[in-house]
Amino acid sequence: MVMTTKKPEPRTPFEEQYLALAKKICLEEIDDPRYEIFLFGSRARGHCDHGSDVDIGIAGPEPWPNGLSRLFTRLMESDVPWRCDPVDFALVKDEAFRRHAYREREIWRAAK
């Protein structure tokens, strides 16, 4: 079996515009500076397809109060043309997933 590695591609202005909108919504909704917000997955690595989702990590000292349903709704109702999947890493138990997600993330806001 031959495995091919997809080469990272630079983002288009279209992608940059809508990722900036997703970032803005996340920064507004997750306003506590103790929480890091980051892009992970194929969009962070530059290996995404046109329809790839947007994986957004939220990492803080405890789970985000009241969950991420409001953030998810705001992202879903926005003009961002892709499905956005926010993940509260305080609730992630799978260490292999955590390591994989953290490996090539793009930090939108570092925790203070």
Report the pLDDT value the prediction gives residue 66, as an integer from 0 to 100: 87
Report the pLDDT value the prediction gives residue 58, as an integer from 0 to 100: 98
Structural tokens at position 47: 């290996």
Taking the domains of the chain in order of start, what are their residue ranges?
A: 21-109
* pTM for the predicted model, two decimal places: 0.90
Whole-angstrom distance, CA of residue 50 vs CA of residue 7:
15
Element (H, E) at 57: strand 54-59
Report the pLDDT value the prediction gives residue 5, as an integer from 0 to 100: 59
Q: How far apart are the first and last CA of the chain?
A: 46
Report the pLDDT value the prediction gives residue 90, as an integer from 0 to 100: 97
pLDDT tens digit sequence for 16-49: 999 999 999 999 999 999 999 999 999 999 988 8
- Considering the domain 21-109, what is its CATH architecture? 2-Layer Sandwich (3.30)
Report angle CA 72, 44, 91 to the nearest 5 degrees: 45
Which backbone phi and psi does 46 adopt, to 5 degrees? 80, 20
pLDDT tens digit sequence for 74-93: 999 999 999 999 999 999 99
**CB proximity list for 106: less than 8 A, separation 6 or greater:** 38, 39, 40, 44
Single-letter code of the amino acid located at 39: L
Residue 8 pLDDT exceeds 80: no
pLDDT tens digit sequence for 42-60: 999 998 888 899 999 999 9
